[in-house]
Amino acid sequence: MTPLLKVKNMTHFFGGLRAVYNYNLTLEKNRIQGLIGPNGAGKTTVFNLITGIFKPSKGSVKLDNEEIAGLFPYQIASKGLGRTFQNLLLWRHLTVFDHIKIAHYSQISYGLIGSFFGTKKRREEEAKIKENSYRLMEIFDISDFADMLAVNLPYGAQRRVEMARAMAIKPKALFLDEPTAGMTPEELIRMIQIIKNVQKKFNVAIFLIEHRLKFVMELCETIQTLVFGEVIAEGTPEQIQNNPQVIEAYLGKEDIS
Amino acid sequence: MQPRYFATFYLNYKNMKRIIGFKKILGFFSAMPALGWLFGFFSAVIIEYLIGNNIAWLLGLPKIPVLFGFLIMLKKPLLIPGALAYIIIVYLLPLTLTARFFSGKINKLAAKLYKLPPPVYTVFYLIFLYIIIDIWAGMSDYRIVTLKLTFIAIILTLSLNVINGYMGEFSCSHTGFMALGAYFASTVTLILFTNDKLFGEALLPSYLAPFLFPIALIIGGIAAALGSLLVAIPSFRTRGDYLAIISLAFMFIVKSLIENLEVLGGARGMGGQHPLANLPTVFIWTILSIWIINNFVTSIIGKATNAVRDNETAANAMTINTRRTKIVTFMFAAFWAGVAGGLFAHVLCYVNPGTFGIKKLAEIFTMVYFGGLNSIVGSIIGAVAFNLASEALRPLELFKWIIIPVIMILIMIYRPTGLVAFKEFDIKKILAPKGDK
């Protein structure tokens, strides 16, 4: 079976700074994989490189055996790569329902004529999108907030809106950038449930950045550890937990003197 | 109102509030559907048409107050009571009576109409509205010109709101687009229908002019849309202040280009257009622009402009082609600005580049920001209010430019995004009959 997403020798420089070096990733279908690393290790840069916000200086990114490195972010997204953001990039003046609806952008086919004149095709497609949006909001438990501005929701709900929005583009792989940042332990447990649910329901591969070990242990099948832009360890949660290099990266070297 | 109440009203003024009650007055107005307002204004306009002159003569006014008495009141303060009485008799009385006594019947009628398919009853309402406007404006040429310019202002405001409100790019090139539209449309009609020094003999007989006028307008619009690419393409890389400067530069380029092109008459301007933009034409184009712009901003492609405004990175990650969105939105808005320019040229039958300067731009900005960003109703309200206010305050001459900015400042303090911002325009809700409460 070919992997869903294959990243090979991806390298990126910001000027003279080597942000990511020789990064490799094989993301299998229907799996949850994690990426951990200390602050400033380049985790989010890896996400941004794969989703096209930055163009990798070197290396290849293949989604379903199709090269996507160098495409525009919206092209990569419409090929089936949804993502959320570490610092919640919600749209300030839009309701929750609008968020989910707009994310169906690549699935509409009524074009400009439809949007100018309100054709029958447009009405049919928008009705279908509305139905799908409500279904998604139901799954993510945000349908009560449908007509509220997304920025007015509680923090946990905002995270779920972002995930629902990412799922609306019908992704094959979902990238979650610190889905539990700033959450209470109760919200954390709820998030674990939601991610498991989503994975089962949509048969989507999930790749996530996370700091909390509990969360990663519970969800991920394999974990990569990134330090200064390089992967220093890869394996199951248990292997990673006991890896001396990982411990060193996180806690520092024991000073023997 | 029952006779008993009248008696108490005169006997005990203080009790009035308790008996009639402020809520009750508001109550019967709020129970009136849109159709009721139309009927009220219709009767008012009919009264004015039939006996307006007599009433004006009785009240000692020289003629019918053309703009709700504002002009008369400001010019000759002595006539204020007369003008006020005229407004009350001719406008407020029919409206109140309709609201008080016919709300129920009109509501039933509105409910019946409401059962028809939406396009049918909307067209019915529009025809009714047009009849009222036509009778009202028919009484004086001044009203006709004011109305036409107000309608054109509505198109301009809406189209600028698409860029500045819906897409959140601060574009200052709108009068440039308008000038492009005005000059292209005028050139087409001048070549085809006018014996002009520059463009030679008329190619077609002038009775064809009204039929080909829409094509001239569309050509003007398309020219403006193509011109807007010069602003749209820089907007990929920059926004905010920098785009404002680029777009302002575009506006000045267009203006000085026209000033220096002798073919188009240079700074002297271009005259001789047939008066093709009569009231129904302007009305139809305005309605068309409201309909199409509303369709656009409620579609997913239009909503994508909101996403681009609020967060471009997120929009990009949600499959939205931000470049295409920007180009489409700029071209779309510029198209309508061009159409408005074309209409403007054929209302005045003369254009000169000086018209499309920074002052006009400031006016359009005022209408957009006064009415409310990201809102169709807001734009309409802003355009109508600003135009009527600036006409009504005309006798104050210089002081007009103190009063209007003061109003603007107050609006900005108390409602920073404008009067009716971030509201969706739902024609069905506006035209719905009001339930009995």
* Mean confidence (pLDDT) of chain B: 87
- Determine which of B61-75, B117-131, B384-398 has the lowest per-residue pLDDT on average: B61-75
pTM exceeds 0.80 for this model: yes
Closest-approach residue (CA) in chain B for A169: B318
> Mean of the pLDDT values across residues A95-113?
93
Confidence of residue B32 (pLDDT cuts 50, 70, 90): confident
Q: What is the pLDDT of residue B20?
A: 52
Contact call for A114 and B299, based on CB within 8 A: yes
**For residue range B304-356, what is the model confidence (pLDDT) as tens digits?**
999 999 999 999 999 999 999 999 999 999 999 999 999 999 999 999 999 99
> Mean of the pLDDT values across residues B392-421?
86
Q: What is the pLDDT of residue A90?
A: 94
Strand partners, B381: none
Closest-approach residue (CA) in chain B for A101: B300
**For residue range A141-154, what is the model confidence (pLDDT) as tens digits?**
899 999 999 999 99
Structure tokens given for A176: 């979650």
Q: Which of A61-65, B12-16, B176-180, B190-194 has the highest mean pLDDT?
A: B176-180
Contact call for A73 and B317, based on CB within 8 A: yes
Q: Which chain B residues are closer than 8 Å to A117 by Cβ?
A: 292, 295
- Determine which of A146-155, A201-210, B403-412 has the lowest per-residue pLDDT on average: B403-412
ipTM at complex level: 0.90
Q: What is the pLDDT of residue B21?
A: 53
| Residue B22 pLDDT greater than 80, yes or no | no
**For residue range B294-314, what is the model confidence (pLDDT) as tens digits?**
999 999 999 999 999 999 999
Q: In sequence order, what are the residues at sequence separation of 6 or more whose Cβ sits closer than 8 angstroms to the Cβ of residue A250?
A: A38
Q: What is the pLDDT of residue B264?
A: 85
pLDDT above 90: percentage of residues in chain A: 63
Q: What is the pLDDT of residue A256?
A: 64
Burial of B38 (0-12, 13-18, 19+ CB in 10 A): buried
Contact call for A102 and B304, based on CB within 8 A: yes
A·B CB contacts under 8 A: 102
Considering only CB atoms, B317 lies closest to which of A51, A98, A108, namely A51
Domains and CATH numbers, chain A: 5-92+169-251 (3.40.50.300)
Is the CB of B310 inside 8 Å of chain A's CB atoms?
Answer: yes
Specify the higher pLDDT residue, B421 or B176. B176
Domain boundaries, chain B: 14-106, 141-431
Sign of CA dihedral B266, B269, B271, B276: positive
Considering only CB atoms, B310 lies closest to which of A82, A93, A122, namely A93
Residue that is written with structure tokens 């832009």 in the block: A229
Question: What is the nearest CA distance from B42 to chain A, expressed in angstroms?
Answer: 31
Confidence of residue B228 (pLDDT cuts 50, 70, 90): very high
> Mean of the pLDDT values across residues B82-97?
88
> Which run of H or E residues covers position A178?
none
The helix, strand and coil proportions of chain B, stated in percent and rounded to the nearest 5, come to 80, 0, 20
| Residue B282 pLDDT greater than 90, yes or no | yes
Given 1.10.10, 1.10.287, 3.30.230, 1.10.3470, which CATH number is that of B141-431? Answer: 1.10.3470
- For residue A75, the number of C-alpha atoms closer than 13 Å in the C-beta half-sphere is 11
Q: What is the pLDDT of residue B6?
A: 44
- Determine which of A77-81, A137-141, B10-14, B136-140 has the lowest per-residue pLDDT on average: B10-14
Q: What is the pLDDT of residue B7?
A: 45
**For residue range B149-169, what is the model confidence (pLDDT) as tens digits?**
999 999 999 999 999 999 999
Confidence of residue A173 (pLDDT cuts 50, 70, 90): very high
Considering only CB atoms, A117 lies closest to which of B295, B310, B422, namely B295
Site from A105, A119, A133, A172 to mutate, B interface, most B CB atoms within 10 angstroms: A105
| Residue B3 pLDDT greater than 50, yes or no | no
3-state DSSP call for residue B269?
A: coil
> Mean of the pLDDT values across residues B409-414?
88
Structure tokens given for A114: 């439809």
Contact call for B307 and A91, based on CB within 8 A: yes
* Mean confidence (pLDDT) of chain A: 90
| Residue B17 pLDDT greater than 70, yes or no | no
Q: What is the pLDDT of residue B5?
A: 47
Q: In sequence order, what are the residues at sequence separation of 6 or more whose Cβ sits closer than 8 angstroms to the Cβ of residue B20?
A: B1, B5, B9
Confidence of residue A172 (pLDDT cuts 50, 70, 90): very high
Q: What is the pLDDT of residue B26?
A: 59
Q: In sequence order, what are the residues at sequence separation of 6 or more whose Cβ sits closer than 8 angstroms to the Cβ of residue B225?
A: B331, B332, B334, B335, B338
Question: What is the nearest CA distance from B217 to chain A, expressed in angstroms?
Answer: 18
> Mean of the pLDDT values across residues B74-83?
84
| Residue B8 pLDDT greater than 80, yes or no | no
| Residue A34 pLDDT greater than 60, yes or no | yes
Helices (H) and strands (E) in chain A, counts: 10, 10
> Mean of the pLDDT values across residues A228-256?
84
Contact call for A74 and B316, based on CB within 8 A: yes
Q: What is the pLDDT of residue B107?
A: 86
Cα(B337)–Cα(B153) distance, integer angstroms: 10
| Residue B2 pLDDT greater than 70, yes or no | no
